[in-house]
Amino acid sequence: MAHLEEMPLFPLHTVLFPYAQMRLHVFEERYREMVRFCTEFDRPFGVVLIRHGEEVGETAEPYMVGTAARIQQVQTFDDGRMDIQIYGERRFRVRKFDESKPYLVGMVEPVVEVEPEEPERLDALTIKSEECFRLWIEGQLSREDLAVQVVFPQDPLQVSFLIADYMPLENSQKQIMLETTDTAERLASLIPILEQQMRDQTDMAFRVTTDTLKEWMNPN
């Protein structure tokens, strides 16, 4: 078996994508210990979606593919609770677990994106998905009488993960997007979802605001 990296794991009822940011409130002592360890030794921890179980209490059963999270900020309260800001760096696959510590540890290997077999198809899907996402955002923000310009990254892989992160997807759908290793296929899966969202602009179950897109937008 190839060399495996030892990584603390944080099972959650959410999916963290590479390039995405997330805020977490950490109150269980085992995860406070994990945060202290990662901070002291400048180590990432892995965010893994819970397959069965709960976030609090006994260790839940997670999916095997997750995202390594780098801690950017830590705010510690007088009672020991923490608010942390994390950033998704890279994907991994758990090959085996180590339950000897208070928190779950995985022996993990990288999940690698495949090289595109048809660069022209990838370019076309990137352009299409960016245009659909831009129109969807404009439709959402038109309710606030705002005019914005959405600025996309240059890397199609990053585009695919950022769109997946902002879309109102079920966790199971997000996990599929995370586990997909072909950027073109990920974008191809996102386009019909975007098109359906544009048709359902009157659905108020999900609201995009300027705050949620502050890293993407330039005011016109």
Give me the chain's average pLDDT, please: 88
pLDDT class of 58 with cuts at 50, 70, 90: low
List, for residues 2-56, the tens digit of each pLDDT value: 689 999 999 999 999 999 999 999 999 999 999 999 999 999 999 999 998 655 6
Count of alpha carbons within 13 angstroms of residue 118, beta-carbon side: 8
Domains and CATH numbers, the chain: 5-110 (2.30.130.40), 119-219 (no CATH)
pLDDT score, position 205: 42
For 135-162, what is the mean pLDDT? 83
pLDDT score, position 147: 65
Alpha helices in the chain (DSSP H): 29-40, 119-141, 156-166, 171-179, 183-199
CA distances from 38 to 10, 30, 134 (A): 12, 12, 37
Tell me the whole-structure pTM to 2 decimals: 0.85
pLDDT score, position 153: 93
Q: How far apart are CA 69 and CA 18, in angstroms?
A: 8
Give kind and range of the element (H or E) at residue 65: strand 65-76
Contact 6/77 with Cβ under 8 angstroms? no
pLDDT at 137 over 60: yes
pLDDT score, position 159: 97
For 180-205, what is the mean pLDDT? 85
Q: How far apart are CA 209 and CA 191, in angstroms?
A: 21
List, for residues 69-127, the tens digit of each pLDDT value: 999 999 999 999 999 999 999 999 999 999 899 999 999 999 999 999 899 999 999 99
Higher pLDDT, 12 or 203: 12
The 8-class DSSP code of residue 143 comes to G
> What percent of the chain has a predicted confidence (pLDDT) above 90?
73
